[in-house]
Every structure is written in C-alpha cells, then in structure tokens.
Structure 1
Amino acid sequence: MAFVGYLSKFSLPELFQFIQEGYKSGLLTIRTLNADKTVTDKTSYIWLQQGRIVAAAETNENQGLLTLITQRGWMSQDKASKVFQMSPSTMAMGLCLKSQGLLQAEQLTLLFRAQITSQVCPLFQLRDGQFELTPQTSLPYAEMTGISIPATEATIIGLRMLRDWSALQNKLPDLTSGLTKKIFAKSEVRLEYSESQVLEYATGKMSLRDIARTIELSNEKVVQIAFRLIVTNLVEECLITTAPHKEETSPFADLNSTNAFGQKRIPQTQPTPLTTKVSSQLSNNNSHSLSGTNKLLEPALDSSPKAAVSKSFLHNLVGFLQSKAAS
C-alpha cells in the first residue's frame, strides 16, 4: 500500500527520517505543486533500499545515469548500454562498468553525488509538494552506481546547501529550547565543525540562544544546525527550565525594603545608641585611656536607681560623731 502525503504537512527531512528509521524500501515520487495545489511538470524519483537512497533521477525511464556518463564524455551511450545488457540482471550499471575497467571508483562517486545534489537537494526548498512512497518496487539497476547513503545523510547534505529556509520555518526549534543527545544514537554522517560544536553542548542545560552566544554564532545559524542534528537522529529538542530564585536569608536583607504601609522596615538586630557611641569613639581614637572610656559609660551608671538610706542609720551616725567630739 502506497504512503501518500504533502510536504506542507510532512516535511522532506521528516519524511527521510521516517524512511531511515523504518528501513523503508521502494520508490519515492515527489511532484511539485502550484499555490492552488495543482501538480506541475516537475517530478523527482528517488529509489530506496532498507532506509538508504540508492539512486535518483528526474524520469522513470532508466536513462538518467547513462545521460550523466555521456555528458562527461567518459563513454558513449551505446557502448555503456551494450556492456550493461551483457551483465547479470541484478548488477548495478556503475559496478558493471567498473568491473570492465570502463569507470573508476572516483568516477562512480562523482556520478552518485551528481544524482543527490541535482535531484534530491533542490527538493528541500519546496514549499509544497505531493509525495508517494510505493513499496515493493523493483530496483532500477540501470540508474544505480552501486553506492548508497542513509536517507538522513541526504538530508544533512541538502540542508547545508539550503539558502532559503522559509519552507521549513515552522519546523525549526525555538531559541529557548535546548538539546539532548539521543542514547545509543549513531550516525554515519561526518559532521562539520560548527555542527560538532552544537552537539557538544547538547546536554539539556543550555538553550540554543546561550549555545549561540557561547560558540559565537548567530541565533539563526545555531537553530538551523540544531534542526539538522534533530532530523539526523543525533539529538532531540527539550525544554529548558529556569531555576527558582533563592531568597536572601541575611537578617539585613530587607533593610531598605518597606512594609505594607510604605514604612521602612527595621532590622531585627540594631545596635543601641550607647554601644554605637562607644564603638565609634574607640575606632576613631585608639589613644584614649580607660578613664576616658569610663566617662562614656557614666550616663549609664547615673541613670540607674540610687540606693535608699534608712533613718536609723543616720541617727546612729550622728550619735557617733557627737561622742567623738566630746572626747
């Protein structure tokens, strides 16, 4: 059963991610749509095997690879066709020509790269298109070089070349989000330096805005790199939570704050005027004698209540003095 949808709902990076994770095989057909959802003449064909792209062409007539070979002047179309027809029926044309010494490994790499860059990469800028994934389709050996790549590797190649991201704008992660590495995530893609930098900070503790500031890249660039890492199954987007503010526990923390009536709050511990005066005097003049310090304490001594003197004590004192005078 064919899987049919629209790129406006299911973007090409997400589609390739689905294909690779599900080890899908078959033929992926993408038809470009106009603004009114009508199909244009532009159609692309991508052949898949176990989640990997094995060939791509703009027609389904098995002539794409032959055209690339003859355009480069490496061989005539008739000669390549005759050699291929004599090869086993399940052998890719590229490997067939290489086995006969007509093409080198480097030439096969260039041919396959041309298929990806010319037929697959331009599809990432489509605002809309209709896709159809048809399983159980025979492999197009006449279009195959013998080289294949994971679908998500084609994604990261296409996104690196993308200049206009407007078609994917609503798919990009938010600047306030973070990234976490996927456990057991493995990738055959060789990352660029900036991609490795962003991956290094995929700890779930820094937002994309903070990562951009740390590695000194623009916010836009870091968001695009983050999206590339997400759709290649290396990381996933996560929410960054802000730690709650810890209240000050110092007894003087609210010295300058006001209460509900707009009055200044008084700290719980406040020095007395006398203690403040003594401390200030000692700190300003260390040469004062102890007696000088005692003078500062006199107001406190005088302010204490005086002891009461009894009348009997005064009477006895007078008698004692009179007896002394008589003698």
Structure 2
Amino acid sequence: MTELPDALRAALDAALARVPEARLAASVQRLMTAYRSGGALTAPALASAADVAAYAAYRMPATFAAVRAALQQATEAVPGWVPRTLCDVAGGTGAASWAAVAALPSLRSVTVLDQVGDALTFGRDLARASPDAALRDATWQRWRAGTEVPAADLVTISYLLGELSPTQQATVLGAAIAAGGAVAVVEPGTPDGYRRVLAARAALIEHGLAVVAPCPHQLACPLDGRDWCHFAARVPRSALHRRLKDAQLGWEDEKFAVVVALPGPAPTVPGRVLRHPRYRKGVVALELCTPAGTAAPVLVSKREGERYRAARDTGWGDTWPPA
C-alpha cells in the first residue's frame, strides 16, 4: 500500500475542504469519464480551480503511487544513481514531483511544467507544506507541448503521452531527451499505454540511453504482440475519495506501464517479475522478463530452501533473483 506523504495528505485535505463536495463530485465524474475514454485531462477539461481540485482528489494518490513505484524500480537497478535536478513535464499539481522526491532523496531542485495555470497554482500551494526544500522552493512554470524542456538530471513524463498525437509524443520525448539526463515515462497500464511506452523505449535506446527499468535488457520486448507489460501500485482511498468516486473498497490498484532510461552504459539488472506469482503446493511459479530478452516461467520448489522462502516473499514487479 502506497500512502501519500503526511504533509501532502494534510495539505490536499485542507485544499479540498475549501471546495463544496457536490462540485468536486460532479467534476470528478466528468474527469473519470474523460480519463477512461482516453480524453485529455488538461485545458479545457480543467476549466476552473474547482476542476483542478477535483483532478487532484481523483488522480494525485494514484499518480504518486505509480511514479514512486517506477522510480523505485530504477533505484534498485542502479543503486548509485543520485540525480540532483528534476523536471516534471506536464506535472500539473505535482504528484510526480512529490513521488520523485520521496524515491530520490538526492534531489535538490524541482521544476514543474504544465499548460494549466490553475494546476500550477494548486500544486505550488500544496508544495509549501513539504518538509523537503526541493519541493518548497520548486519552480512552477507554464509550458506547452512542443517547447523545450529545461536541462535536468531526471525528466518525468507521467500520464501525458496518451493526450498527444504521435507527432507531439515524439516532439515531447525528444525535448526530454535533449534535457540531458534520465527520462522516466509512465502511462496507464493498458495495451494502448504499453504501446506508447514501447515507442518511447525505442526512442530512448535510439538516442543512446540505457533502459534500467523495468526491463533487464536493451532488446525487443518479449511480450510485444502477445501480451502487455504493466505493473500495479495499491493506493488507499480516503473517505472523501470513496465518496467522490462512488467506490466501496478502501483501496484501488493503479495499473501502469513504464520505462526509465539513463545516460551511460546499461547496468547489469536481474530478471523482473511480470505477473503476480502463482502458488501451488510446495512450488512458487514466477513469470520473468530475463536479461536474455525472453519472458519465461521459473518454478521454485520448497526443496530449494532459502530460494523458496525468497520466492514466497517476491511480488509482481520485483526483481529476481533478489539482491
């Protein structure tokens, strides 16, 4: 379960309390319809400060959880990676920036770009509550797809590409690569989101970056054409979140597709667990993406002792064998 940081949760709750709940609920339902149909959650969808607040209530917890999980995969693959500067492209109210700061304590400077002025204002107000100076002092800047991205050690592009044409996607990705650092792309964990991530992955490799997550190799995706690579982050729902989404469960699973690539040579990365492990009597079955570029099942028997116990503790998205 991935909780929002206490400071963000408190600041978000306080900001949402200033908007009538009926207004939030109406906006959330409209935004949910747009999101599920592949529509844009930008202007004019975010046409007012109340719409921005509704978007924050609806999407910030899930975006935070997905981006944090994605960056956690990268830090596990490259433990010595210590980016200092972050540029959050189309970062809106700042969920990905909060996630990056949580996953990467080395960050000292944050820039958030977005075309919606009200989203930037909302995000800036939330960030003032952060105990981390990088967020409190972040730069919140108006930006449109097609314009350059400031130089940064890490550029995050989360839940944006699906709102753009293929030409715009390539332009935004090219600008992110030109920023000179690592690039992390997160999209919904759907077949379409996976295909956008595959295209981004190909462009990153073509420009000389090394994929470090989730793939343990630089070869073609072994799932392409028969399945899609995605992961899940479990997100707790507050009472308000449940009411706004007309939901019953106290949690939801945010499914996402991701690629993270860094400048420099490719590191040695172990296999990645692609699905929930399956358990049979005395056996754990793991579906792995391997460093050889294949997707293959691995069966771990109880007779293997410590290896079996490690497999029992391994989850979807983890590396195998564990460090």
Q: Same fold (TM over 0.5)?
A: no
> Quick check: which one's helix share is greater?
1
Q: Which bin holds the TM-score, normalised by the shorter protein?
A: under 0.3
Larger Rg over CA atoms: 1
Instruction: Report the TM-score, using the length of structure 2 for normalisation.
Output: 0.22
